[in-house]
Amino acid sequence: MTVSLQVMRAQQDGIFTDGCPSRVVLDHVTSKWGVLVLAALADGTLRWGELRREVDGISEKMLASTLKTFEADGLVQRTAYPEVPPRVDYRLTPRGRDLAEAMSPLMTWVAAHADAIVNG
Amino acid sequence: MTVSLQVMRAQQDGIFTDGCPSRVVLDHVTSKWGVLVLAALADGTLRWGELRREVDGISEKMLASTLKTFEADGLVQRTAYPEVPPRVDYRLTPRGRDLAEAMSPLMTWVAAHADAIVNG
DNA sequence: CTGAATCCCCGCGGATACTG
DNA sequence: CAGTATCCGCGGGGATTCAG
């Protein structure tokens, strides 16, 4: 069953209105690289370099900014090891894993139907 | 169960790589206003003016461009009635409804956890 | 009422170079 | 290896005007 804006608003007043918390979070998640970074981290811990390679095409700047946003949101946990050479890894928090699960149907759907949409 | 990029790539080679169809479609859907427009149309037909009010904060320019993209993608169907004053309405195609269903868990999750993320 | 067209600004995001 | 700093272009997005 599909949930529409109207239905959600009947349950929760003012949800997804301009500037409200749900819009802020939605913007973070649906930011240009948001879903891809979350999906990359969905089944385990990754280092910075692995993440860069996994999320094909992302720039260092956007990876850093996306990770910072998610860290501030409590969706991603960063761990730095005091080694030389430096090693840092990223993984989803429980909340992040929960979100990734909620995103899963969308990703699966897109993967399954993208060719039909783009080609025709 | 959550599906990660790695898992999807094990099933479908080169999925969600730079410039591939799945990335194009994902960009359309997760565009700034994409999910909100789709969610607004999720449980029925809406006229242009209703859509504008429903998707709080969207400009006419972005509404038009978002709708055109989705129409070209076969996700939204536009119907114009030859009346005065003019009346146009938009509704999801079967494919669009399918997508809206896949987005539903994400929207629900965001609605439920946004406050905790922004405040807490 | 439903747009299309135009102008314009601002900031997202890419490219590159540099650092601990 | 894991970032930060800087520059800059382009397109998102607002405001306004016009049309059918």
Kind plus residue range of the DSSP H or E element containing A74: none
Residues 73-92 on chain A lying near strand D, CB distance under 7 A: 78, 80, 85-89
Taking alpha carbons only, the member of A111, A35, A2, A18 closest to residue B22 is: A111
| Strand-strand pairing, B87-92 and B76-81 | antiparallel
**CA nearest B105 in A: which residue?**
A102
A59 contact residues in B (CB cutoff 8 A): none
Beta carbons of A35 and A57 less than 8 angstroms apart: no
Strand segments (E) across chain B: 46-47, 76-81, 87-92
Task: Report if CB A61 to strand D is under 7 Å.
Answer: yes
Q: Best of B62, B76, B113 to disrupt the A interface by mutation (most A CBs within 10 Å)?
A: B113
Read off the pLDDT of residues A60-95 as tens digits, 9 standing for 90 and up.
999 999 999 999 999 999 999 998 899 999 999 999
Q: Helix B21-29 and helix A94-119: axis angle, to 10°?
A: 110
Give residue A120's pLDDT band: very low, low, confident or very high (50, 70, 90): confident
Per-residue pLDDT of chain B in tens (120 residues, 90 and over written 9): 899 999 999 999 999 999 999 999 999 999 999 999 999 999 899 999 999 999 999 999 999 999 999 999 999 999 999 888 889 999 999 999 999 999 999 999 999 999 999 988
Q: Full-prediction pTM beyond 0.75?
A: yes
Beta carbons of B65 and B24 less than 8 angstroms apart: no
Give CA–CA dist A91/A113, Å, rounded. 29
Calculate how close chain B gets to A82, using CA atoms only, in Å. 28
Average pLDDT over residues A37-66: 96
Half-sphere exposure of B64 (CA within 13 A, CB side): 3
Query: What domains appear along chain B, each with residue ranges and CATH number?
Result: 31-115 (1.10.10.10)
pLDDT value at residue A11? 96
Residue A4 reports pLDDT greater than 90: yes
C-beta neighbour count of B116 within 10 angstroms: 13
pLDDT value at residue B3? 92
- B108 vs A8: CB contact, 8 Å cut-off? yes
pLDDT value at residue B120? 83
Average pLDDT over residues A47-52: 97
Residue A41 reports pLDDT greater than 90: yes
- Could you tell me the two tokens for A22? 């749900």
Question: What does each C-alpha distance from A66 to A56, B68, B120 come to in angstroms?
Answer: 14, 28, 20
Taking alpha carbons only, the member of A57, A78, A80, A59 closest to residue A68 is: A78
pLDDT value at residue B83? 84
Give CA–CA dist A27/A16, Å, rounded. 11
Average pLDDT over residues A50-55: 96
pLDDT value at residue B1? 83
A47 pairs with which residues across the strands?
A: A89
